[in-house]
Amino acid sequence: MNNTVVQLSDANIYQGEHLVLQSVNMNLVKGEFTYLIGKTGSGKSSLLKTLYAALPLQHGQGNVVGYNLRDLTRKTIPLLRRKLGMVFQDFNLLPDRSVYDNLLFVLRATGWKDKVEIHNRIYGLLEQVDLKGQENRLPHTLSGGEQQRVVIARALLNEPAIILADEPTGNLDPDTADDILMLLRKLAQQHDTAVLFATHDYRVLQNFPARIIRCRNHRLFGEEDIPM
């Protein structure tokens, strides 16, 4: 259990009153890269939202980075999310703040106070995502790929146990999407961070193979039990 970052057992995933996924069983371990695939509307986003407590788990058991999803409160949800990194299709960067200040905002919001540690953390991650020297630029002056690199840096700020990525390359051209995917995989490996990468771009699965979990017919299937 000590390497397990996500465990769901007989979990039903709801969007409001609507049952989206039934009898979900899933395990993710530290450092593992996994694709979550399925058609639009198949339940990928609802599953991710359940993992970061935007949707409550109403049936079954779920544990994410040591937190029981059935026992979460207003006080513990922020603590859970500090152990998660999130990367979305929409970058959700603060438009009136520089790249540096976007990252600074997250660190201050999660309790960082030492100015030297903050400075070192931000500049270290900007170098890792190949944005060294871009710290003073505003988001709208960056390309889509550059903005997503800022988002990846933001996701890694607090050394998360897992990154939840919801269609993170959906707004990018194929070459840029490949660059972002390779970067995310490389950094996750370096940081020993698990990644659950939701996508309906089957091209990336062929180009960059990894474990696959599929949402289909209100169920979750691993590669070994995907129906033809």
pLDDT tens digits, one per residue of 50-68:
999 999 999 999 999 999 9
DSSP 111-162: T---HHHHHHHHHHHHHHTT-TT-TT--GGGS-HHHHHHHHHHHHHTT--SE
Residue 108: inside a domain, yes or no?
no
The answer to whether the CB of 12 falls within 8 A of the CB of 4 is no
Confidence class of residue 88 from pLDDT cuts 50, 70 and 90? Answer: confident
What is the average per-residue pLDDT within 213-217?
Answer: 94
Give the global pTM: 0.92
Q: What is the mean pLDDT of residues 145-166?
A: 94
Residue 85 in any domain: the answer is yes
Give the C-alpha distances (Å, rounded to integers) separating 173 from 19, 146, 196, 197.
34, 13, 21, 17
Structural domain including 164 reads: 4-97+159-225
Does some domain include residue 52?
yes
Contact predicate 180/131, CB 8 Å: no
The answer to the question of residue 113 being in a domain is no
Q: What residues contact 111, with CB distance under 8 A and at least 6 apart?
A: none
Q: Does residue 206 carry a pLDDT above 90?
A: no
Q: Report the C-alpha gap between 135 and 139 in whole angstroms.
A: 10
- CA–CA distance, 50 with 12 (Å, rounded to integer): 10
122 occurs within a structural domain: no
105 located within any domain: no
User: Is 147 contained in some domain?
Assistant: no
Is residue 125 one of the residues assigned to a domain?
Answer: no
**CATH code of the domain containing 57:** 3.40.50.300
For the chain, what is the domain count?
1
Tokens 């859970």 belong to which residue?
A: 80
